[in-house]
Amino acid sequence: MAKNNGLKCSICGKEAVRYIPYANIALCRDHYVEWFEKRFFKHVDSFRIFEGSKRVAVAVSGGKDSVSLLHLTKMASEKYGFEVLGITIDLGIDRGTAYSKKSVEVALSNYKKLGVDYVIIPLKEKHGFSIDDSKRYVNRPVCSTCGLVKRYLLNEVAEEHGADTLATGHNLDDMAQYVLSAYVHGNLEYVLRNGPVIPARPGYPVKKVKPLFLTPEEEILHYALIKGFDFIYDPCPYSSEFNRVSKEKLGLIIKKIEKEYPGFTLGLVQTFEKEVKPKMHYTKETQEITKCKICGRPTTPGRDICSFCAVKMKIYESLHRSDGLKKAHNG
Ligand code: SF4
Ligand code: ZN
Ligand code: ZN
């Protein structure tokens, strides 16, 4: 990961732990951390990420991105004077790896270390199903169900706990995949709605922010390792299914181009945000809000039931049917 090759730090001359090709600098351990954190604050300021925020909820899955984001947001809270609330969803992913159990343990250890407020949402206890159940009973890719469950619960819980901002750990690689995928599939509306800051709007009172959206994934990993953060290194047992999604394949292609042309990924996302986006007009902001007949939360206009409740109903029906079948079999 670190590409030092005997290089010396461009700032102090000590042994470098990382060479940053697109910036043409080599950095030692201390200067890498300093450079990384300075860039974080530069992005936070220039994209007005926490402007007006009083209580920032951070979605923490226990991976390097969200754990680093939690620590950096805590630093930002001391500079800008807002409160921090960690939110972790126990998704009920096991598959012999105890993934969710570890994810909750890691999140807890970071919350306690930083002394921040937190809330853990047990999906199975609160809503009667886990992501493992959805894999068995819902006819859609498990990561797609997981994504909608996370979006629904994070919004709901952030609102319930008085947060005005919800921060997620999307990194530069994620954003580059979104942007390129939007061009390829002609779905620019999606990226127009999913920039580094999505302001609060009718039906969605919590502003969404992605403070790491211009930070490469590998650099976040290196930062988390140097800082000695407690995070889950192993991927989710369903991540190989995630890799089958075309967006992820684009991610591999982007990585290959980045190797040949350092700075390509940053240019792709930065140019989109700074040059392309301001020249485009997104007209759907004034859409009417339709409320889900079951939970009362916003749903897509024209649909009575939100996707979360639809998935929940589908799993309930299947679980009860399979319970009945088991009873009939045993009896
Ligand atoms: Fe959820 Fe898929 Fe990510 Fe696992 S890999 S946490 S199932 S979105
Ligand atoms: Zn140095
Ligand atoms: Zn609903």
CATH classification of the domain holding 145: 3.40.50.620
Any atom of ligand 1 within 6 Å of the Cβ of 143? yes
In a domain, 69, yes or no: yes
Same-domain pairing of 164 and 237: yes
pLDDT tens string, the chain, 331 residues long: the values are: 444 568 999 999 999 999 999 999 999 999 999 999 999 999 999 999 999 999 999 999 999 999 999 999 999 999 999 999 999 999 999 999 999 999 999 999 999 999 999 999 999 999 999 999 999 998 889 999 999 999 999 999 999 999 999 999 999 999 998 888 888 777 777 777 778 999 998 889 999 999 999 999 999 999 999 999 999 999 999 987 765 555 667 888 899 999 999 999 999 999 888 888 887 766 555 567 889 999 999 998 888 999 999 999 999 888 777 665 556 555 4
Any atom of ligand 1 within 6 Å of the Cβ of 242? yes
Q: DSSP readout, 245-306?
A: SHHHHHHHHHHHHHHHSTTHHHHHHHHIIIIIGGGS---GGGPPPEE-TTT-SEE-TT-SS-
In a domain, 271, yes or no: yes
Same-domain pairing of 5 and 150: no
Closest ligand 1 atom number to CA of residue 236: 4
CA of 112 to the centre of ligand 1 (A): 25
In a domain, 303, yes or no: no
Backbone torsion region of residue 162, taken as left when φ is above 0, otherwise alpha when ψ lies between -120 and 50, otherwise beta: left
Nearest CA to ligand 1 atom 7: 143
Same-domain pairing of 145 and 213: yes
Same-domain pairing of 81 and 109: yes
In a domain, 298, yes or no: no
Same-domain pairing of 82 and 28: no
Tokens of 56: 């920032």
CA of 151 to the centre of ligand 3 (A): 12
Report helix angle 64-80 to 99-114, nearest 10. Answer: 20
Tell which one of 64, 236, 244 to mutate to probe ligand 1, the residue whose CB is within 8 A of the most ligand atoms. Answer: 236
In a domain, 313, yes or no: no
In a domain, 302, yes or no: no
Label the pairing between strands 165-167 and 207-209.
parallel
Same-domain pairing of 121 and 171: yes
CA of 76 to the centre of ligand 2 (A): 24
Tell which one of 65, 106, 130, 142 to mutate to probe ligand 1, the residue whose CB is within 8 A of the most ligand atoms. Answer: 142
Any atom of ligand 1 within 6 Å of the Cβ of 147? yes
Label the pairing between strands 207-209 and 197-198.
antiparallel
Any atom of ligand 1 within 6 Å of the Cβ of 59? no
Same-domain pairing of 126 and 255: yes
Same-domain pairing of 6 and 137: no
* Number of domains making up the chain: 2
CA of 28 to the centre of ligand 2 (A): 4
Residues with CB under 5 Å of ion ligand 3 are: 292, 294-295, 306, 309
Same-domain pairing of 18 and 124: no
Which of 253, 271, 289 lies at the terminal end of a domain, its last residue? 289
In a domain, 308, yes or no: no
- Nearest partner of 135 among 319, 321, 323, judged by Cα: 319
In a domain, 320, yes or no: no
Same-domain pairing of 82 and 24: no
Domain range for residue 19?
A: 1-36
Same-domain pairing of 280 and 147: yes
Same-domain pairing of 15 and 53: no
Any atom of ligand 1 within 6 Å of the Cβ of 97? no
Q: Phi, psi (5° rounding) for residue 262?
A: -55, 130
Rounded Cα gap, residues 124 and 130, in angstroms: 5
